Chain A
Amino acid sequence: MKCRINERDAEIGGGTSLGKLAEAHCPGADLFILNGCPAAPDTIPGEGDAIVFIRRGVKPAPEELDALLAARHTPGVHEKLKRSSVGIAGCGGLGSTVALALARVGIGRLVLADHDVVEPSNLNRQQYYIDQIGMAKVEALRTTIARVNPAIQVTVWGERLVQPTVASLFAGVDVLVEALDQADQKAMLVEAAMKAFPTKPLVLGSGMAGWGGNERLRTRISGTMTVCGDETAEAVPGRGLMAPRVGIVAHMQANRVMELLLGPDEGIGPELVTGRFDETC
């Protein structure tokens, strides 16, 4: 019987438990993942299943890393995402969070653009650390991404974005994410992208200042363009930008990027949520 063990094709005897397979393929494994979901050692895998064995607390060899990082993915997702590339314009609260979410799911290539350096007021919502203050944001982010998944290819642009740069820098990406701070910069990016590549999917963030109001945050799709946010709450004197609300919108953007790359996830439709709640993991 054919199956995949730690991302490699394997031929196994029918009726063999995960525990027995682990003894042969990954001695000492104490975490068994079957098709993206943790499973008990006495589970019997079926034809074509994706099995991952992990030794908890042991740092894996670089060649194993890719498979182990993606063990909790829905099967098949990892291969598709690895072949994909995403551009991120702006690496502040939105962009740094989108970049790390996409790095964690193993996007093949990220193109990051930001002209700024990390300063202390960024740390209330952006994915940077005290020891990175003063570093160029794109370099700091590149370092953090490599700590999560060194297989991600990262291209960086450290100067302010202007229209001709947008057209050349992001020409090769599958999806472009707008993650800029100022509304006029957002407008510049949309104009440049629409002119240079009108059919490329573009995911915008608009309206995420303040706190609360989860129910006001939404995703609107118009042609190749998606807008995430409440389209209302502006960052102005008296209303700041903070990690939770900016982070939600950033993750809405990253989640939409996955949907654009993979197609809709039929498994999260209403029939599954109501009908098979006990089987989710």
Chain B
Amino acid sequence: MLKVNGEPLKYQKDMTVSDVIRAKKYSFPLLIVKIDGVYIPRESYDITPVPDGATLDIIHLISGG
């Protein structure tokens, strides 16, 4: 099981960051992803495995300031 933005998500074998984003149906173009507090660069989403039991924070970057 994973925890994504405080909610449980069923873990699947060999899951990558991209798989988690798809599973959560996040469509925002600009996200910040942290696995157990560690920042994951955008270009690594397809190749970064997510370990079972991990906590992910996925932050949406919204225009405005």
Cα distance A204–B32 when bound, in Å? 11
* Separation of A194 and B63 alpha carbons in the complex (Å): 20
| Bound Cα distance A95, B57 (Å) | 24
Separation of A131 and B62 alpha carbons in the complex (Å) = 31
8 Å CB contact of B38 from A90, A92, A187, A223: A223
- Decide: A94 near B65, CB < 8 A? Known: A184-B30, A187-B30: yes
Distance between B55 CB and nearest chain A CB, rounded to angstroms: 9
Whether the Cβ atoms of B32 and A198 lie closer than 8 Å is: no
B62 to chain A, nearest CB (A): 4
* A125 CB to nearest B CB, Å: 10
Residue pair A223, B37 in contact (C-beta under 8 Å): yes
Whether A208 is near chain B, meaning CB under 8 Å from some CB there, is: yes
B1 at the interface (CB under 8 A from A): no
Check if B60 sits within 8 Å of A232, measured CB to CB.
yes
Residues of A in contact (CB 8 Å), total 39
Q: How many residues of B contact A (CB 8 A)?
A: 17
List A contacts of B63 (CB < 8 A): 181-183, 186, 234-236
The answer to whether A220 and B65 touch (CB under 8 A), given A183-B30, A187-B30, A187-B32, is: no
Q: Render A198-209 as a binary contact track against B, CB cut-off 8 A, 1 for contact.
A: 100000111111
Q: When the two chains form their complex, are residues A180 and B39 in contact, meaning their CB atoms are under 8 A apart?
A: no
Does B23 lie at the interface of the complex (its beta carbon under 8 Å from any beta carbon of A)? no
A99 at the binding interface (Cβ < 8 Å): no
Complex CA gap A208/B60 in Å reads 12
Residues of B at under 8 Å CB distance from A? 29-30, 32, 34, 37-39, 41-42, 57, 59-65
Which A residues are closer than 8 A to B by beta carbons?
Answer: 90, 92-95, 179-184, 186-187, 190-191, 194-195, 198, 204-209, 220, 222-225, 227, 229, 231-236, 241, 246
Which 7 pairs, one residue from A and one from B, show the smallest C-beta to C-beta distance? A223-B37, A235-B64, A222-B57, A207-B62, A94-B65, A181-B65, A183-B63
18 A–B contacts, CB within 8 A, in A order: A92-B65, A93-B64, A94-B65, A187-B30, A198-B39, A205-B64, A207-B60, A208-B62, A222-B57, A223-B37, A225-B32, A229-B62, A231-B60, A232-B62, A233-B62, A234-B62, A234-B63, A234-B64
